[in-house]
Structure 1
Amino acid sequence: MQLLFINFEESFFILLVAFLIFGPQKMPYIARSLGKNLRYFHNVTQEMQRAIWEVTEKSPYNTVSKEPKTKSNEIDENLS
């Protein structure tokens, strides 16, 4: 199992070092703040993806890319 591109043994070692540095009293606070920050980061990335999707769907380039096809079809119909 990989977590953030590291395997289980590496993540266990990191947790052990953090436990030794910060102690058992601060570990719940650190884990809670890490969870809040990860949730915030996830929400921000979702908002950015949604905004980019809305902009690209309503982009003037979408209509411009369709116009040459319709104009060429009109020209072909007029020539026929």
Structure 2
Amino acid sequence: MNFFGIGLPEMVVILVIALLIFGPKKLPEIGKSLGKAIKGFQDASREFESELKQEVQKLESDAKTPTIAKAEPVSTASTKEETAPQSSGQS
């Protein structure tokens, strides 16, 4: 059993020291408040992770959606002038 890099013997030593410092009446209260704090941290972490995933999916879907550019109308008068043979006026 390994919590946060702390083995079972180290956990036992920490619990014995905490029992000596706080006493048997305060130790359950401290454990309860510590458990609530850890649960709150986990809930906040899950919420942050879900929001981050939603934003990533939103950005990915926006990137996959092709953007259609408006085509500018082509003037037919200018293209006819370029392709029509020019008369030099000399015969």
- Tell me the TM-score normalized by structure 1: 0.74
Give the share of equivalent positions with the same residue, in percent: 32
Partner of 1:63: 63
Unaligned runs of 5+ in 2: 67-91
Partner of 1:30: 30
Distance 2:14 2:4 in 1: 12
Partner of 1:14: 14
Partner of 1:42: 42
Bigger CA radius of gyration: 2
- Tell me the TM-score normalized by structure 2: 0.66
RMSD: 1.8
Pair 1:27–1:55, CA change in 2 (3 A): same
1:36 Cα offset (Å): 0.4
The higher relative CO (CA closer than 8 Å, separation ≥ 6) is in: 1
Aligned residue pair count = 66
Distance 2:24 2:48 in 1: 37
**Of Structure 1 and Structure 2, which has the larger fraction of its residues in helix?**
1
